[in-house]
Amino acid sequence: MEIESQVILPRELDDLSSFIQEKPESLATATAELRAIALRATKFIFDLALRSEPASLPHIENLLSSLKQSQAPQTRSQTRANAKRKRSPSPVLESPKKVTIKNTPLPSLFIEDMNEGQIWQQLDLRAAPLCSNLLLLEGETEDDMELPDGMYDDQEDEEGDEV
């Protein structure tokens, strides 16, 4: 417990932690006070993530690139199978999938005069590039991907205009 006393939380997170510690039943009833405190904590974390985004993106792209099937380590059974298959044709290599993550197009999380749906859309907008890259690595094409509610694809609009 000694370590806990040495950790200093930012005010927004400390407010939320203290409130839940004092009134844990508020989680079940979802009071307006809890909502306001949690929203401030969410804004703090969102804005902190945006500020650290430029330094983090290259590392996230490296991590996602390492998840490609071609980058996966070979198991012993795969090595043996490849050794036995010396004269058979080589397996077809997977097409390269470009992993890129764009910066979030928001300067911060806007909460003033926003309803819950609008706030969730901003959170989805931040997560959408990462989710689309994970789906791409999983094997779905961008055309197969379903966009989250409230998001749309500019290409669909352009295709509709051509008709």
DSSP per-residue letters across 95-156 = PP-----PPPS-SS---TT--HHHHHHHHHHHHHHHHHHHHHHHT--TTTPPPPTT---HHH
Q: pLDDT, tens digit, for every residue of 44-58?
A: 999 999 999 889 888
Residue 44 neighbours by CB distance under 10 Å: 17
Boundaries of every domain in the chain: 1-52, 110-147
- How far is the C-alpha of 51 from the C-alpha of 97, rounded, in Å? 28
Per-residue model confidence (pLDDT) at position 150: 47
Is pTM beyond 0.85? Reply is: no
